[in-house]
Chains A and B, each alone.
Chain A
Amino acid sequence: MNNDQHADIELTGTLHPATILFAFLDLVKRFMTLIVIAIVFALLRRNGGVGFAEWAVVAVSVFGIFGAIIKLATTRYGIYRDNFYFRTGLLQKSFRTIPIDRIQTVQETQNFLMRPFNVVTLKIETAVGGSAEATLEVVSVPVAKELKRDLMARKAALLGSAPPVIAENPEEIVEELPPAIYEASTKELVIYGATSNRAALVVAAILAPLAYFQQFFDPRDTMWLYERAENVVSAVRPGYDMMLARWAQITIAIAGILFAVLLIGWLISILHSVVTYYNFILRKTEDSLQRFYGLFTRVESFVPLPRIQAVTIVAPLFRRWFGLCTVQADTAGFVLDATKDSTNMVCPITKIDKTPEFLKNIFPNLDLTSFVWNSVHPRVVFRSTMIGSIKGLLLLALLGIRPYGFDNLQYDPSVFYYSPLVVLLVWLAARASYRRAGFAWSSKFVAIRSGVMVNTVTVLPVGKVQSISVTQSFIQRRWGMADLRVQYAGRSAVSAATLDNMRVEDALRLQSELSASTAASGVWLLDGV
């Protein structure tokens, strides 16, 4: 990029000097792993001195501070005519031009360290996904507010609309609240938290193999493991003495600690859900959903209805036992006027049978109950059973190894008695998956459902579709199957509804029809107008 062509544009806006401090803290956060490793190495070292890891930390710090100074010195921004300009970089120079009428949000964030300095981070975003188009890492609050007000006023003037009111203190605004369409009770939030965390499954997944191998381990026969470990350590640090320990005891201790940690994690999950979504109220106005929630940090966020790109109903197994599910709405760009709100949640927990009615609040034309669901290719049961059985039998074969020491590996073929059971379980899972997976579409919506343990149904308006891909592996081509991926403009980089192992003719027909319907729906705009 040739920056000389922009030489006539004088940019006067600069970052706050505290940028250096916050850039350094950000660096510490990013290289925390390296710092921890350096500390561990320093503690383990017996002969004193400074090692490689410490030098690496010093080098990273020096370069980081130097980089922050460069950033402070080279970053300039300003408004010129109808554009916002943002220039940064010394060697890799960047000069970005953002048309003010394309700006979607100007978002201020302030963490607790920023408060004493009275500074904020200001993010200026357009409709393009990913990170903000311009991020002023550290600017003073008055400067940020003035810039935000100026940008919004100019945008309104360019678009010929009234400028939005930006209150100094949002609490001063008193207005009549729209009717609530959903409220979550504390009991429901406890169920939500309890069924969100997968701690129990993780504990089972970790403890089961450990418990299985435990019976074959004799600590006296595991010297070869130490020898291998010593070789690794000796290669890195010659002459270092390995501290030997009894593997069995360590295994039990680790398992116990893991169990305790995961149990605490489960309780924290419940507490977190209650604290985060406490008194969750969803209200609906003519053109937006308004969410109010939180115990300590009270969040008020507005989701403009035209910006909702897709809705996903999520029902994990445990939650389904209570007849409950969660509804999430994926929006394009970031939510206007949100403070720290980054969730897609519009309904943390609700009755499954009430979901179709609830969704009418978001998509009035959507009638979920009228959808005729099409299944995927029936051969998927055979294919999944084959693949799953191969994986299962390989795992079973590994379980037959009896490690009585490095030179005394024995094999117990009796594990293969369980083969029929493995194949049966895999077949049942494949059959359940086949019966669950499916798609449906109407002239206005396309819906995809999948998942056995976690049932999901994703519904998106045809007009919100961005692209459609059909993919076939070698085996899928032989069996007439294909995977479908319908991409939409959600806030994630991988916002897409996918369905695997469809009949290829269904996939290609859906691709063709969706593409035609999408093209007929006109230009995609962030606000859907």
Chain B
Amino acid sequence: MDYPEHPVPPQQSPNFDVDLSAPGAAPPVRLFKYGEYYQLHPNVKKRWMIGIILSSLFALPILAGAYFFTTRVLEWRTEIVLPVGIALWVLFLTIGLLMISFEYKRWRFQISRDEFTAERGVIVRQRTTVPRLRIQHVDINSGPVDRMFGLVELSMYTAGAMGAIITVPGLTPDDAEALRKDLLHLK
């Protein structure tokens, strides 16, 4: 699935496809053009970077346990285990950090009249389509790290699913609010 590249930044302009001359039609609060692909806010790269560094720090106690097990129980040589362990930790951390920009390039979403589509993934690519009438509710969440970079994430839920069917990270609060209102047909 080779998607055409759409390096289009989010556009803060209303959608002109709506027929405002129809009786009773009100201008919708909509900032995303239907049918266009949008990327995430560039700050999400910094947010992912912090996340990967924090995750790698949380992995340290597990690595310490593995070090204890291999050197004390299995009696492997400390002068080999320690540098190899550190090298592996640095390697995975580096790969994680390098993947961020690829992940950012691949992550994009599109809203249309009938459906919401998200495409993401570097090694394993995924394209998920959710018919808009199937969305039961939408959450907007922001953790402390998200807030540091002025970001929120938007999760959408369908019936029957235990968790969110799609979570769109790296949105500004205004974009998330506009997306939420559009998805739920709110004014």
Please report A residues at the B interface, Cβ cutoff 8 Å.
Answer: 127-130, 228, 231-232, 235, 309, 332, 465-474, 477, 482, 487-491, 493-495, 504, 508, 511-512, 515-516, 518-519, 522-524, 526
Contacts and interface: CB of A to CB of B under 8 A. Distances in A.
B115 A466 contact: no
A309 B134 CA distance: 14
B162 A493 contact: yes
A477 B129 CA distance: 19
Contacts of A228: 74
B184 interface: no
**Contact residues of B: prevailing secondary structure:** mixed
Contacts of A512: 129
B22 interface: no
Interface stretch (B86-94, B120-128, B144-152): B120-128
A467 B159 contact: no
Nearest to B163: A493
B61 interface: no
Nearest to B72: A235
Nearest to B113: A519
**Contact residues of A: prevailing secondary structure:** mixed
Q: Which 5 A-B pairs have the closest CB atoms?
A: A489-B160, A493-B162, A489-B159, A519-B114, A466-B158
B123 to A, nearest CB: 5
A526 B131 contact: no
Nearest to B126: A471
B50 interface: no
A129 B162 contact: yes
A129 B1 contact: no
Nearest to A520: B114
A235 B123 CA distance: 41
A55 B127 CA distance: 50
Interface in B13-34: none
Interface residues of B, number: 32
A134 B115 CA distance: 32
Contact of B134 (A235, A508, A524, A526): A524
Contacts of B115: 515, 519
Contacts, number: 108
B160 A309 contact: yes
Contact of B131 (A127, A465, A493, A495): A465
Given A474-B123, A493-B162, A467 B129 contact: yes
Interface in B102-132: 114-115, 121, 123-132
Contacts of A519: 114-115, 131-133
Contacts of A127: 136, 159
Interface of B: 1-2, 72-75, 114-115, 121, 123-134, 136-137, 157-163, 165-166
Contact of B133 (A128, A488, A524): A524
Contacts of A504: 1
B160 A470 contact: no
B114 A515 contact: yes
B131 A515 contact: yes
Contact of B159 (A231, A471, A515, A524): A524
B125 A471 contact: yes
Contacts of B2: 477
24 contacts: A128-B136, A128-B137, A129-B160, A231-B73, A231-B74, A232-B73, A309-B160, A466-B131, A467-B129, A467-B130, A467-B131, A469-B129, A471-B125, A472-B1, A472-B125, A477-B2, A477-B125, A495-B160, A511-B127, A512-B129, A515-B114, A515-B131, A519-B115, A524-B159
Given A332-B159, A467-B129, A473-B123, A482 B1 contact: yes
Contacts of B125: 471-472, 477
A128 B138 CA distance: 13
B128 A518 contact: no
A467 B124 contact: no
A234 to B, nearest CB: 9
Contact of B129 (A468, A471, A524): A468
Nearest to A521: B133
Nearest to B137: A128
